[in-house]
Amino acid sequence: MHNFIFRNPVELIFGKGQISKLSEKIAPGTKVMMTFGGGSIFKNGIYDQVKAALKGVEVIEFGGIEANPDYSTLMKAVEICKKEKVDMLLAVGGGSIIDGTKFIAAGTKYEGDPWEFMLDSSITSEAIPFGTVLTLPATASEMNCGAVISRRETNEKFAFHNPNCFPQFSILDPTAIYSLPKRQISNGIVDTYAHTLEQYLTTDIDTKVMDRFAEGLLRTLVEIAPDLLKDERSYDVCANFMITATMGLNGFIAMGVDEDWATHMIGHELTALHGLDHGVTLAIVHPGVMRVMKEEKRAKLLKYAERVWDIKEGTEDERIEAAVVKTEEFYRSVGMKIKLSEHNIGEETINTIVKRFRDRKWNVGEHGIVTPEKTEMILRSVL
Ligand code: NZQ
Ligand code: ZN
């Protein structure tokens, strides 16, 4: 097990009716910018619940943050925060809103162009404090300090991590996701599954607790997916989904392990170039990573086959292939198209992504094992 330092300061406030707790978290007289997306919070009553809990608080509303939040939109909020001297931010939405809010929080405190910290991971600006009300389980942004920001004018999408960008608190009310369309449930299932695999399917360095924890998250997703995709979702299934997604990327299963993230890095390019939903990109790329990086990941792939899919028969290669097929079937079962060609994406995009990775000198994956050549093989394998 590698040495590690673990710190996660986020206060989780979980359960039905918990949005009302905002009144205890934000004192009257605080000047708050409330950030949100394209309007789902007006239809499902979350906006009303938030506003009711914020009586006496001065609220500046900043809506219209798009899925895959865009630099130019967020910079408008940065300007307002600077001008109005906002004390605190409150993100009400999914990963895009929370990520965008992290960018606003850090961008407001940063003296230069905030895009600089998107390109240089050594820059960690101060940030104004913020809380979140989560409406879409997927990214775990509600309990981590990372964010992914898009810049449509250049077709780019990059991540940043800043220890000053943990939310102070996050409210997780499972009833908030009753209104989620199936497409977003599918995205959330696949995103959480992929986060877990990115921290599990690496090198086997005897991290027993993290492995069992990760396997528990994966098996839970497989178990609850059919119920989540029914027309009516029960409170319990929503609650289980919400906490699974949060646990997938809040640092718990990353303790002492090697991490991969090649699937995410390649997937971000597919979103930047073609606008595919984040979850959709992962369902395409992940099986390719498993097959192309089979030798490097062999021990963990075998563990995955046995412990997540109960595959015990056959040679090593047969068991690994069966586990990859099970993964593909699972992604298809939640409604994903898992080949580039099914999204009308072909050779040209593969060449563009590989050129970008070469130009950026990006060797991704655990220990940089996914070279641009491997990235090309991965993308060709899922054509
Ligand atoms: O904009 P509105 O109208 O609110 O609609 C949203 C949006 O269209 C809708 N939605 C959200 N909650 C809803 C709802 N509709 C009905 N009822 C509700 N309760 O869902 C749509 C998608 O929302 P979005 O926030 O974009 O989804 P998600 O949470 O999947 O976030 C995706 C973004 O997060 C990044 C992705 O790259 C992408 O930009 N990620 C962030 C990570 C992190 N911070 O750690 C890690 C992830 O790997 C990921 O990269
Ligand atoms: Zn993700």
For residue 364, what are the contacts with CB-CB under 8 A and spacing of at least 6? 261, 262, 265, 266, 357, 370, 375
Following CA atoms 225, 134, 179, 197 in sequence, which dihedral angle do they give, to the nearest 10 degrees? -20
Q: Read off the pLDDT band of 270 (50, 70, 90).
A: very high
In this structure, are residues 198 and 150 in contact, taking their beta carbons and an 8 Å threshold?
A: no
Strand bridging mode 88-93 / 130-134: parallel
Residue 344: pLDDT band (50, 70, 90) is very high
Q: How much is the average pLDDT of 78-95?
A: 98
Q: Which residues contact 24 (CB under 8 A, 6 or more apart)?
A: none
- Compute the average pLDDT of residues 344-369: 98
Distance, CA of 57 to CA of 50 (rounded, Å): 11
Task: Give the per-residue pLDDT at 332.
Answer: 98
Which of 10, 278, 285, 286 has most ligand 1 atoms within 8 Å of CB, for mutation? Answer: 278
CA dihedral over 366, 282, 240, 201, signed as positive or negative? negative
Please tell me if the CB atom of residue 374 comes closer than 6 angstroms to any atom of ligand 1: no
Q: Which amino acid is at 370?
A: V
| Residue 296: predicted pLDDT | 98
Confidence of residue 140 (pLDDT cuts 50, 70, 90): very high
Distance 149 CA to ligand 1 centre (A): 12
Binding site membership of 186 for ligand 1 (Cβ less than 6 Å): no
Residue 203 has what pLDDT?
98
Confidence band, pLDDT 50/70/90 cuts, at residue 334: very high
pLDDT-based confidence at residue 336 (cuts at 50, 70, 90): very high
Section 315-338 average pLDDT? 98
C-alpha of residue 260 to centroid of ligand 1, in Å: 22
Contact between 40 and 135 under an 8 Å Cβ cutoff? The reply is yes
What pLDDT score was predicted for residue 288? 98
pLDDT of residue 37: 98
| Structural element, H or E, at residue 88 | strand 88-93
Pocket test for ligand 1, best of 10, 40, 182, 193 (most atoms within 8 A of CB): 40
How much is the average pLDDT of 247-270?
A: 98
Instruction: Tell me the CA–centroid distance for residue 37 and ligand 1, in Å.
Output: 9
Q: Is the pTM of this model over 0.95?
A: yes
CB 177 within 8 A of CB 135: yes
Q: What is the 3-state secondary structure (H, E, C) of 252-301?
A: HHHCCCCCCCHHHHHHHHHHHHHCCCHHHHHHHHHHHHHHHCCCCCHHHH
With a CB cutoff of 8 Å and minimum separation 6, the contacts of 120 are none
Q: How confident is the model at residue 230 (pLDDT cuts 50, 70, 90)?
A: very high
| Protein residue closest via CA to atom 20 of ligand 1 | 184
pLDDT of residue 254: 98
Best CA proximity match to 157, nearest among 230, 259, 30, 67: 67
Q: Which residues contact 14 (CB under 8 A, 6 or more apart)?
A: 171, 172, 173, 239, 242, 243
Q: Would you say the CB of residue 249 lies under 6 angstroms from ligand 1?
A: yes
> In this predicted model, what pLDDT tens digit does every residue of 2-51 receive, in sequence order?
999 999 999 999 999 999 999 999 999 999 999 999 999 999 999 999 99
- 260 CA from centroid of ligand 2 (Å): 12
Bridge partners of 88, per DSSP, are 32
User: Which pLDDT score, from 0 to 100, does residue 324 have?
Assistant: 98
CA-closest residue to ligand 1 atom 50: 148
Paired residues of 90 in beta bridges: 34, 131
With contact defined as beta carbons under 8 Å apart, do 182 and 335 qualify? yes
Percent of the chain with pLDDT over 90: 99
Q: pLDDT value at position 33?
A: 98
- Testing ligand 1's pocket by substitution, the residue of 44, 96, 144 carrying the most ligand atoms inside 8 A of its CB is 96
Looking at every residue in the chain, the average pLDDT score rounds to 98
Distance from residue 192's CA to the centre of ligand 2 (Å): 7
Q: Which two three-digit tokens encode residue 56?
A: 């006496």
Give the rounded percent of residues in the chain with a pLDDT score beyond 70.
100
286 in Cβ contact with 268 (< 8 Å): no
Average pLDDT over residues 58-84: 98
Ligand 2 center to residue 279 CA distance, Å? Answer: 7
Give the mean model confidence (pLDDT) for residues 78-104: 98
CA gap 44, 283 in Å, rounded: 29
